[in-house]
Copies of this chain bind each other. A is one copy, B any other.
């Protein structure tokens, strides 16, 4: 792995653990095993490096979700698989986390990948739910777009509850709860 690559990966890890405000160029360099000159040669500064890191993390998250969405089974089974997938719950969502960073939200370039990721997620889930409805797998009364937003919010909020409790239990409860509600719409 070359230096530029190590810098990006080191930034990804630190953004996840500490956020944008809590991540210093010095910390990035130390974790990457690179000097200052090296970092400022490859990137124009902290925002530039963060942009590269955020873009990669966002892409990875979409790819991971797509694996479950395009898997086998009914729509509800696929959404279920997505919700129940193995996650590092206590670490939180590496993308959702960024929305609490004022400097990320204030910078259109940094916010864009975050925005696009959640927009894509909601849209993809809404499509699945509409598909399930059209196939008769799901109740016709169910609003695909609103329900999709609910599903994504349950995950993001689940992370919040888990970190507050220092336990993944509330996350699992929230997921169980929304699955229970969804299953009542399947017959």
Q: Could you tell me which A residues sit within 8 Å of B by CB distance?
A: 17-19, 21-22, 92, 96-97, 99-103, 105, 111, 114-115, 117-119, 122, 139, 141-143, 145-161, 163-166, 170-171, 173-174, 176-178, 180-182, 184-185
Contacts and interface: CB of A to CB of B under 8 A. Distances in A.
A153 B154 contact: yes
A95 B185 CA distance: 33
A97 B150 CA distance: 19
A102 B18 contact: yes
A21 B22 CA distance: 6
Nearest to A160: B156
**Count of chain copies:** 2
A165 B36 CA distance: 34
Given A100-B19, A100-B97, A152 B147 contact: no
A163 B99 contact: yes
Given A22-B102, A164-B118, A184-B184, A150 B154 contact: yes
B141 A161 contact: no
The 8 A-B residue pairs with the shortest CB-CB distance, nearest first, are: A153-B157, A150-B177, A157-B157, A156-B157, A146-B177, A149-B173, A153-B174, A181-B181
A103 B166 CA distance: 13
